[in-house]
Copies of this chain bind each other. A is one copy, B any other.
Amino acid sequence: MVKKSFSDMACSLAQAMDVIGEWWSMLIVRDFFVGGGRRRFEQLRDSLGISRNILTERLRTLTDAGVIEKVPLQEGGRRYAYQLTEKGRDLLPVMISIMQWWERWEQEPGEGYMNVRDRKRGEEIGQVAVPNSQGEPMQYGDLFMTLRTPRGEMKIREWPLDFRSLSDDDLLDLPTDSLNAEAS
């Protein structure tokens, strides 16, 4: 009956969701991005319309995770701002990829609310994509997924979230010619 935590699952996505997967987290991060990386408590509350106690809790989660940090606005004062850390600013591809995905499928062309532009050139950014080693954009069908195990890198029949529970039967050896030298 306890709310399930993803943090003990052996999966990067599951662990990340424990930090940014809560209802408001990415919207709070969005507000930091459009606000130049720094926001105050009431500012967040006003622009998001979030309850104070929920905001308090989310800010704590994000602070504990190192996504934002709390800084006093003046020496000795008890008035604070929160600001994105380097780790928080590094969430930009996540935020942009979500917005672009939505706009690719749900939005009338040219209707987008928010535009992101290159500061130097003034031009709009391009689409976020998964690149191969040459930087060429890949689709899902162009890729395959493997798992690093104590036995080396493997294909896998079933993918439970906790990979430690896998039996040998679930592991399939990779055809060696599909792996380059860099990875064993």
Binding site for B on A (CB under 8 A): 4, 6, 10-17, 20-23, 26-27, 30-31, 33-35, 37, 43, 46-49, 66, 84, 87, 89-107, 110-135, 138-148, 153, 156, 158-161, 163, 177-180, 182-183
Q: Cβ of A161 and Cβ of B128 under 8 Å apart?
A: no
Report the minimal beta-carbon distance from A164 to chain B, rounded to whole angstroms. 10
* Nearest B-chain residue to A91, judged by Cβ: B101
* Nearest B-chain residue to A88, judged by Cβ: B140
Known: A101-B91, A102-B12. A132 touches B160 (CB 8 A): no
Q: Which of B23, B120, B147 is the one whose CB lies under 8 Å from A114?
A: B147
Q: Enumerate the 4 nearest inter-chain pairs by beta-carbon distance, A residue then B residue, closest first.
A: A16-B102, A34-B159, A123-B133, A118-B132
Q: Cβ of A160 and Cβ of B128 under 8 Å apart?
A: no
Q: Which of B43, B128, B148, B177 is the one whose CB lies under 8 Å from A97?
A: B128
Contacts of A12 in B (CB 8 A): 98-100, 102-103, 106-107, 112-114
Contacts of A33 in B (CB 8 A): 140, 145
Q: Cβ of A124 and Cβ of B11 under 8 Å apart?
A: no
Contacts of A121 in B (CB 8 A): 132-134, 180
The answer for the CA separation of A163 and B30 in the assembled complex, in Å, is 14
* Nearest B-chain residue to A164, judged by Cβ: B113
Q: List 27 A-B contacts (CB under 8 A).
A: A11-B30, A12-B102, A12-B106, A12-B113, A13-B26, A15-B106, A16-B102, A21-B26, A33-B145, A35-B159, A43-B158, A47-B161, A49-B160, A93-B97, A97-B128, A113-B147, A113-B148, A115-B153, A118-B132, A119-B141, A119-B143, A122-B179, A124-B182, A125-B143, A126-B131, A126-B132, A128-B128
